[in-house]
Structure 1
Amino acid sequence: MAFVGVVDLTAGPGVGLLPLVSLGPAFAGLVGGWRRTALVGLIASVLCVGLGVYNGLFEGRRGLIALLTVAGVTAAGVVAAVMRQRRERELANVRSIAEVAQRVLLRPVPRGAGPLRIAVSYTSAVAEAQIGGDLYEVVTSPAGVRIIVGDVQGKGLEAVESAAVVLGAFREAAHDEPDLTAVGERLERALNRHLSGERFVTAVLAEIGDGPKATLLNFGHPAPLVVRPSGAVGYAEPPERAMPLGLAVLGSAAPLPYEVPFAPGDQLLLYTDGVTEARDAVDRFYPLDERAGLLKDPDPEAALRAVREDLVEHAEGPLHDDAAMLLVRYRMAHSDEER
């Protein structure tokens, strides 16, 4: 609007830019509220009248047409701003309800279980009302501590509903079944009764008992990260890739359990693909293994918080997918931390 005014004053009325003053309320309606749009429209009208009188445009029809253009665009901008704000409020309400439903499912995990210390981090994506279906749970069973971290295909309330099925089945099976393979079979049966079409759930199950090892069962999920006290870092890859939960109808073989050493001082980080698939400005994925040094903090919750902050900094803004992380730390014997 200022540019149009300067050009009109310096070049004269012959340039014919006066109707472009209406761009002010037009853009205000796209990004601001209706009050701001109306205020900008009022300023545009005053500017239009002032320039029209200065240039003598109201002696003909040019000044009146320019003023009517500003008034019409302002009215349309106010209506558009009101409708946009109403839609934003509705989306905020839907997202709030969905997040509450998801938080009810994701109960707080125990901070400790025997020699294990456990911490969880969950970062919700900012994408209108489309929350994801990331899930996690920790259950203390007769066989040891059993853990699940998973990711439901899709987003929204439908994904939360699928996550509820998985978590409900896991909480029962983790107590009742003798091994992880049987737990996985229970989850598969529960999902087959619930899911339709080609929807699926990737998940990794872990069991940590009395021995210096962890047993894992991976259903097409990103491999957990293992961090040793020496600083060595590696992914606990399964011997063979398996299909996600819910796709047993395709006739694929079930995953086989495998063991990884897990002794005092070791850390096991389970996560969803929202962590490793977060991209920076040049489209690079988040290098989780290179950031393992952030897990050195004696407090596991502070360690996960450092990783989460680094993840958001890597993405240079809000994440486009939900990101869940669950850290299991085997406490050193007779350490200050244990005391």
Structure 2
Amino acid sequence: FCVVRDRRAKELEQVRYVSETAQQVVLPSLPKKLGPLRAASLYLAAEAEAQIGGDLYAAARTTSGTRLMIGDVRGKGLTAVNDAALLLGAFRGAAHRQASLGELVSYLDRSVCWDLMEPGETSRYGETFITATILDIPDRAGRVQMISCGHPPPIVLRDGRPTNMDARNPAPPLGLGELLHPRYRVDSFPFEPGDLLLLYTDGVTEARDSTGTFYPLAERITGWNGKSPDAFLDHLHRDLLHYVGGRLNDDAAMIAIERPAAPRA
């Protein structure tokens, strides 16, 4: 019995090591600084032995700002991890080169459509899709450009008051472009010095307490006037786990971005 127990413990330790290594390769944490912006990221896996799943995020610097993506792959398991890795690779390779946000999203949609099918297949259109929000944040204070592809809306927290940035021109999830032929139209919203921007997946808002009530995200972050994105995500992490009783039923990813306020004279 002791031999079997020790063997299983070593196997579990190895699985955790491989999971952590895979996460660092496929989904590394965002840099603490993205140009003038301060950033923090967090991934919460529903399974204790797994460190990565179908939720994803990435950032890329351009000559004039920062491009961000957060997304959620339909499905679970290794297939979802593979699909997430493919989209992340496409974003990292193209975010610097695509001139407009619409061109970038169109490229990502084609990547999902074609990269997730075997050569010669045509029957998988629509079977795999990824909800995502792609943002272009200028270095100088101004309006953020956004294309939302079936994903939960970002939240801007200003003076402790959260506001959902709902898309007026929502697009279908990535991977459905071959079926729906969407026209990608850009939404925009203000993001001023001192604001905090929160991006998240539905593993946050669909988390439930013991009575089955969804986590009221906007209500729980109202009044926050903390000092950094890291502190904000740490607070949100602890509050979310407390709300659900310590364990999530679905993976969850979060990004917090702050445009620091100008120093006072």
TM-score normalised per structure 2: 0.87
Greater Rg by CA: 1
Asked if residue 292 in structure 1 is aligned to residue 211 in structure 2, the reply is no
Q: CA deviation at 1:92?
A: 6.9
Q: In structure 1, what is the equivalent of residue 248 of structure 2?
A: 319
Is the CA contact (8 Å cut-off) linking 1:98 and 1:156 kept in structure 2? no
Specify every segment of 5 or more residues in structure 2 that has no aligned partner in the other structure, as ranges.
118-123
Q: 1:246 aligns with which of 151, 172, 175?
A: 175
**Structure with more relative contact order (C-alpha pairs < 8 Å, separation 6 or more):** 2
Cα distance in 1 for residues equivalent to 2:36 and 2:52 = 34
Deviations 1:82-134 (A, max 9, x none): 7x998897677556534532331112322123331111111111266595211
Deviations 1:207-238 (A, max 9, x none): 11134111111110110111112x33211110
Cα distance in 2 for residues equivalent to 1:252 and 1:85 = 55
Asked if residue 264 in structure 1 is aligned to residue 199 in structure 2, the reply is no
Q: CA deviation at 1:157?
A: 1.8
Specify every segment of 5 or more residues in structure 1 that has no aligned partner in the other structure, as ranges.
1-33, 36-81
Is the CA contact (8 Å cut-off) linking 2:68 and 2:134 kept in structure 1? yes
The amino acid that maps onto 2:195 is D
Q: 1:154 aligns with which of 75, 79, 89?
A: 75
Show the 5 A alignment for 1:189-208.
Answer: 189-196=110-117, 197=124, 198-208=127-137
Asked if residue 219 in structure 1 is aligned to residue 149 in structure 2, the reply is yes
Q: In structure 1, what is the equivalent of residue 239 of structure 2?
A: 310
Query: Aligned with 1:154: secondary structure?
Result: coil
Paired residues, what number? 255
Is the CA contact (8 Å cut-off) linking 2:229 and 2:256 kept in structure 1? yes
Superposition RMSD on alpha carbons, in Å?
2.4
Q: In structure 2, what is the equivalent of residue 106 of structure 1?
A: 27
Q: In structure 1, what is the equivalent of residue 261 of structure 2?
A: 332
Query: Aligned with 1:327: secondary structure?
Result: strand
Cα distance in 2 for residues equivalent to 1:168 and 1:334 = 37
Is the CA contact (8 Å cut-off) linking 1:139 and 1:174 kept in structure 2? yes
TM-score normalised per structure 1: 0.69
Greater fraction strand: 2
Q: CA deviation at 1:250?
A: 2.0
Q: In structure 2, what is the equivalent of residue 123 of structure 1?
A: 44
Moved more, 240-249 or 316-325: 240-249
